[in-house]
């Protein structure tokens, strides 16, 4: 697996992926870190780990150019799989099409709850607390041409406590993200994820924790 990670923020999920590769839990090579923000913490982590970086030119973001620049960067890196890790912009359709079945995202809730446009970061946890859910969680899903609607690959529930604040809940969910994202990527690297239309089958599931 030659992995491109797209990130707009701090990149703690990207780091969890790099750590899993380092300790031999994920057979993959991180070949690209792409960001729409030059100040993204994820780029620092890429520098520290010697992962090539690509920053989308500002005039590109939200324009038709974005797709072709992304595809050029992906091709130059030799990436064959994309993991979005806190990437806050819509992925252009040509990239979604070119990487059909090979592009995934992690979302800090149990989709389809608390997803969609504008549902990112603290807002997700705030909405979960306002609803009074007893459980929230993490979802890894395929990326399609809308926000958070692609077929689901893995989910892990996370309990909500009565005393939770946005920060305490976000921290508990993030911990689960750091476990489940490398795990999901491992399933792909081992060829155990089968996408058939909107349904996803994980082969040999008893070994997937
Ligand atoms: C995570 O909560 C992830 O689920 C969401 O964006 C956040 C990114 O955090 N898509 P980080 O940049 O990986 O620390």
pLDDT digit string, tens, across residues 127-148: 999 999 999 999 999 999 989 9
Q: pLDDT band at residue 65, thresholds of 50, 70 and 90? A: confident
Pocket test for ligand 1, best of 41, 111, 121 (most atoms within 8 A of CB): 121
Q: 172 — phi, psi (to 5°)?
A: -65, -40
User: For position 67, what pLDDT does the model report?
Assistant: 86
Q: Is 202 exposed, middle or buried (0-12, 13-18, 19+ CB in 10 A)?
A: middle
User: For position 207, what pLDDT does the model report?
Assistant: 53
Q: Determine contact, residues 68/60, Cβ cutoff 8 Å.
A: no
> Smallest Cα–Cα separation from 6: which of 98, 112, 104?
104
CB of 103 shorter than 6 A to ligand 1: no
Pocket test for ligand 1, best of 44, 177, 185 (most atoms within 8 A of CB): 177
Question: How close is the Cα of 11 to the center of ligand 1, in Å?
Answer: 7
- pTM of structure: 0.95
User: For position 62, what pLDDT does the model report?
Assistant: 65
Question: How close is the Cα of 165 to the center of ligand 1, in Å?
Answer: 18
| Alpha-carbon gap, residue 172 to 174, rounded angstroms | 5
| Alpha-carbon gap, residue 40 to 54, rounded angstroms | 11
Tokens 């705030």 -> residue:
126
Instruction: Characterize the bridge pairing of strands 135-142 and 152-159.
Output: antiparallel
CB of 12 shorter than 6 A to ligand 1: yes
User: For position 66, what pLDDT does the model report?
Assistant: 81
CB of 92 shorter than 6 A to ligand 1: no
166-189 helix and 122-131 helix, angle to the nearest 10 degrees: 110
User: For position 166, what pLDDT does the model report?
Assistant: 98
Flag whether pLDDT at 197 surpasses 70: yes
What separation, in Å, do the N-terminal and C-terminal C-alpha atoms of the chain show? 20
From 107, 125, 141, 178, active-site residue? 107
Question: How close is the Cα of 86 to the center of ligand 1, in Å?
Answer: 4
Q: 140 — phi, psi (to 5°)?
A: -105, 125
Q: 102 — phi, psi (to 5°)?
A: -135, 30
């Amino acid at each position: 697996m030659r992995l491109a990670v797209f990130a707009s923020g701090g990149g703690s999920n990207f780091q969890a992926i790099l750590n899993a590769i380092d300790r031999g839990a994920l057979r993959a090579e991180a070949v690209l870190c792409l960001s729409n923000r030059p100040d993204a913490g994820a780029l620092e982590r890429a520098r520290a780990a010697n992962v090539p970086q690509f920053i989308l030119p500002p005039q590109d973001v939200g324009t038709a150019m974005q797709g072709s620049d992304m595809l050029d960067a992906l091709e130059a890196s030799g990436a064959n799989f994309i993991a979005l890790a806190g990437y806050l912009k819509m992925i252009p359709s040509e990239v979604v099409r070119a990487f059909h079945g090979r592009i995934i995202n992690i979302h800090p809730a149990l989709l389809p709850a608390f997803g969609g446009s504008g549902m990112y970061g603290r807002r997700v946890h705030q909405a979960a607390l306002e609803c009074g859910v007893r459980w929230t969680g993490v979802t890894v899903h395929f990326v399609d041409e809308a926000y958070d609607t692609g077929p689901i690959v893995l989910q892990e529930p996370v309990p909500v406590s009565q005393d939770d604040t946005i920060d305490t809940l976000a921290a508990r969910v993030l911990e689960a993200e750091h476990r489940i994202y490398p795990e999901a990527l491992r399933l792909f690297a081992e060829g155990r994820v089968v996408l058939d239309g909107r349904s996803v089958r994980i082969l040999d599931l008893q070994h997937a924790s």
